[in-house]
Chain A
Amino acid sequence: MTENKPHSILKTEDLNIGYRGRNSDTIIAEKVNIDIFPGQLVAVIGINGIGKSTLLRSLSGVQESLSGKIFIAEKNLKNLPPLEQAALISLVLTGQPVSKNLSVFELVALGRQPYTNWIGRLTTNDLRHIKKSLRLVDIENLENKKCYELSDGQMQKVLIARALAQDTPLVILDEPTTHLDLYHKAYILQLLKKLTRKTNKAIVFASHEINLALQLCDKILLMQKNEIVMGSPKELVKSGELSRIFPSDLIFFDESSSSFKIKS
């Protein structure tokens, strides 16, 4: 499969992430070395507060990393001008103050901003990309709806369509399944999987849905207190890493069913 492709889309070298302080830096994760290829679906998994969002923000250039290097499509993120970066990474974030008065079409069309002229005029090529993105996430029928008319699940699809319209080889999503019911959680993750296959984009997302992620993802990035482990679901199950991510007093990882269960 795509595993052996030589060109990585996201690669880090000894990346240290965290927050710069006045006197000393708060380190969230040290020596992160990951390598992600086109067409891969990667879940970032870890306990609350371990730094999943910080990692994703650092990888997408929203937040400065403390040291180390990030390469996007083999270009150093630090040296990328904002517009070039916008053509390589698109984001799907939760809890952003997105104007709910926007129509679905308008919102998805904003994904074309890095390519439009000074006043943001949409060319036929832009329109083609917008239509294609709406079709890929199957929301063509919502095109003219206002965002305040949408359910949480529909809104999430619209935000994903916007990221697709941005036409980047890498899409990063921060907890795309929060606020959704089990069916829609599975639906969104399945959709992401489908998108990696159809578009050959690399999709990285943070999630608490370990059980679903284990079934769907190509790679899983486990964030633990002292290290970050990356591997395929099978490898992680076999190595027993999964049982170590949560405190062991309440739940345990059941290898036979590949899921977490409550201790009885």
Chain B
Amino acid sequence: MTFSLLTLALIGLLFLNIGLGSVKIPLKDIIASLFNLEVSRESWRYIVLEYRLPKAITAILTGSGLAVSGLLMQTLFRNPLAGPYVLGLSSGASLGVAIVFMGAGLFGGAFSAFLLSKWSIVIASSLGSLLVLLAVMLASLRLRDTMAILIIGLMFASLTAAVVSVLAYFSPASQLQQYVFWSFGSLGNLSWEEVSVLGLFWTIGIFLSVAGIKNLNSLLLGEQYAKSLGVSIQRNRLLVILATSILAGSITAFAGPIAFVGLAVPHLIRQVIPVNNHSILIPAVILGGAILMLVCDIAAQMPGSEFTLPINAITSLIGAPVVIWLLVRKRRFLF
């Protein structure tokens, strides 16, 4: 029941998202472009197929991917404050990107032009995330206490943030601005090629998460009980960290660090669907994350105007009041 409502909302919002934008396009032409029929103006078809549709799909992929990784982290660390970035992935990514933007000036010429292309940012961001991921994985193999991993993740976040600050301090204003714009996050500007690469990583990440459903359910009882039910704590921990990193890492690489969605959506869903079984929670947060992101993207576009607001700010602007409202109403923040 709730699921069909969520699915309907998702489909409705998808069309709304494609329908709205700075250029006004009549509904029949939007549908015509989507289904490859005759469109009044060829430029409209281009806008819908090459700009709005990939952007909407990116919104769905990022929203759902971040929401799932948030859920995974909250269950793994048994902490309602955990989100996709608690392991320091976004800090790793920002370090990589900061080095590219602020280091580009050092080289100059053709090489710096290459450095500033979209793919090099994606690669730098992935490498940064990967570095942090490897460090956290190594730590998780040595540590018996899962909570210690949380703290190590936070330490890596502080470390990389400090390095970024040092880089920023020595950078000229123009490069600093580029970096700041990246950190605002952006769903647009992704080519179909990039969307499909993101889609591939999304699929792998979701697949790994689904494989962990049963163990995640056991973890709701705490690690000792989970172990007594036959769960291998270490292997499960690795699987969950890997899934989160692939999801959150690839999303950050393509869309920049997007705050809040991963933390908030699992809580929102728990209020709507009162279950704890991850085989229901995972599909539900996928839908919920996608819906929230589409809404945020519509708001960020400010339909009818030329401006686009930074998506990273909109997610918090819309999400935070919702969570506060739910909390005050329910007076209970159990998970």
Chains A and B belong together in one complex: yes
CB distance from A170 to the nearest CB of B (A): 11
Q: Would A113 and B230 count as touching, CB distance under 8 A? A: yes
Q: Would A101 and B270 count as touching, CB distance under 8 A? A: yes
Q: Would B228 and A62 count as touching, CB distance under 8 A? A: yes
With A93-B224, A119-B213 given, is the CB distance from A86 to B230 under 8 Å?
yes
B24 lies within 8 A of chain A by Cβ:
no
Q: Which of A82, A83, A101 has the most CB of B within 10 A?
A: A101
CB distance from A217 to the nearest CB of B (A): 23
Q: Would B217 and A96 count as touching, CB distance under 8 A? A: no
B200-245 residues with Cβ-Cβ distance < 8 A to A are 210-211, 213-214, 217-218, 220-222, 224-225, 227-232
Q: Which of B214, B230, B276, B277 has the most CB of A within 10 A?
A: B230
The CA-CA distance from A136 to B229 in the complex, in Å, is 21
CB distance from B232 to the nearest CB of A (A): 6
Q: Would B225 and A93 count as touching, CB distance under 8 A? A: yes
Q: Would A119 and B276 count as touching, CB distance under 8 A? A: no
Q: Would A101 and B230 count as touching, CB distance under 8 A? A: no
User: CB-CB < 8 A to B277: which residues of A?
Assistant: 106, 120
Q: Which residue of chain A lies nearest to B333 when distances are taken between CB atoms in the complex?
A: A101
Partner of B214 from the list A118, A148, A166 (CB cut-off 8 Å) is A118
Q: Mark A70-84, 1 if CB is under 8 A from B, else 0.
A: 000000000000110
Q: Would A119 and B279 count as touching, CB distance under 8 A? A: yes
B334 lies within 8 A of chain A by Cβ:
yes
**Could you show 16 A-B contacts with beta carbons less than 8 Å apart?**
A60-B228, A82-B231, A86-B228, A91-B228, A93-B222, A96-B225, A97-B222, A99-B334, A101-B270, A101-B276, A101-B335, A106-B277, A110-B229, A113-B214, A118-B214, A119-B210
The CA-CA distance from A10 to B211 in the complex, in Å, is 34
A85 lies within 8 A of chain B by Cβ:
yes
A89 lies within 8 A of chain B by Cβ:
yes
User: CB-CB < 8 A to B213: which residues of A?
Assistant: 119-120
CB distance from A84 to the nearest CB of B (A): 8
B141 lies within 8 A of chain A by Cβ:
no
How many residues on B have C-beta within 8 angstroms of the other chain's C-beta atoms? Answer: 26
Q: Would A116 and B214 count as touching, CB distance under 8 A? A: yes
The CA-CA distance from A148 to B274 in the complex, in Å, is 13
Q: Mark B243-281, 1 if CB is under 8 A from A, else 0.
A: 000000000000000000000000000100001110100
CB distance from B330 to the nearest CB of A (A): 12
With A62-B227, A114-B229 given, is the CB distance from A120 to B214 under 8 Å?
yes
Q: Would A85 and B225 count as touching, CB distance under 8 A? A: no
The CA-CA distance from A111 to B228 in the complex, in Å, is 10
3 tightest A-B contacts by CB?
A86-B230, A96-B222, A83-B230
Q: Which residue of chain A lies nearest to B218 when distances are taken between CB atoms in the complex?
A: A113
The CA-CA distance from A72 to B229 in the complex, in Å, is 16
CB distance from A89 to the nearest CB of B (A): 7
The CA-CA distance from A82 to B231 in the complex, in Å, is 7
Q: Would B222 and A98 count as touching, CB distance under 8 A? A: yes
Q: Would B224 and A110 count as touching, CB distance under 8 A? A: no
Q: Mark A104-133, 1 if CB is under 8 A from B, else 0.
A: 001100110110101110000000000000
With A100-B334, A102-B276 given, is the CB distance from A82 to B232 under 8 Å?
yes
Q: Would A85 and B222 count as touching, CB distance under 8 A? A: no
The CA-CA distance from A110 to B334 in the complex, in Å, is 19
Q: Mark B307-335, 1 if CB is under 8 A from A, else 0.
A: 00000000000000000000000001011
The CA-CA distance from A92 to B275 in the complex, in Å, is 23
Partner of A113 from the list B78, B217, B276, B332 (CB cut-off 8 Å) is B217
Q: Would B221 and A110 count as touching, CB distance under 8 A? A: yes
Q: Would B221 and A96 count as touching, CB distance under 8 A? A: yes
A90 lies within 8 A of chain B by Cβ:
yes
User: CB-CB < 8 A to B228: which residues of A?
Assistant: 60, 62, 86, 89-91
The CA-CA distance from A114 to B228 in the complex, in Å, is 9
Q: Which residue of chain A lies nearest to B219 when distances are taken between CB atoms in the complex?
A: A99
Partner of B217 from the list A83, A90, A110, A166 (CB cut-off 8 Å) is A110
Q: Which of B78, B213, B214, B225 has the most CB of A within 10 A?
A: B225
Q: Which residue of chain B lies nearest to A85 when distances are taken between CB atoms in the complex?
A: B230
User: CB-CB < 8 A to A60: which residues of B?
Assistant: 228
The CA-CA distance from A103 to B228 in the complex, in Å, is 20
Q: Would B229 and A166 count as touching, CB distance under 8 A? A: yes
Partner of A102 from the list B220, B227, B232 (CB cut-off 8 Å) is B220
User: CB-CB < 8 A to B232: which residues of A?
Assistant: 82
Q: Would B221 and A99 count as touching, CB distance under 8 A? A: yes
User: CB-CB < 8 A to A113: which residues of B?
Assistant: 214, 217-218, 229-231
User: CB-CB < 8 A to A101: which residues of B?
Assistant: 270, 276, 334-335
Q: Would B222 and A91 count as touching, CB distance under 8 A? A: no
Q: Would B225 and A98 count as touching, CB distance under 8 A? A: yes
Partner of B334 from the list A86, A89, A148, A162 (CB cut-off 8 Å) is A148
User: CB-CB < 8 A to B217: which residues of A?
Assistant: 110, 113, 120
Q: Which of A82, A113, A114 has the most CB of B within 10 A?
A: A113
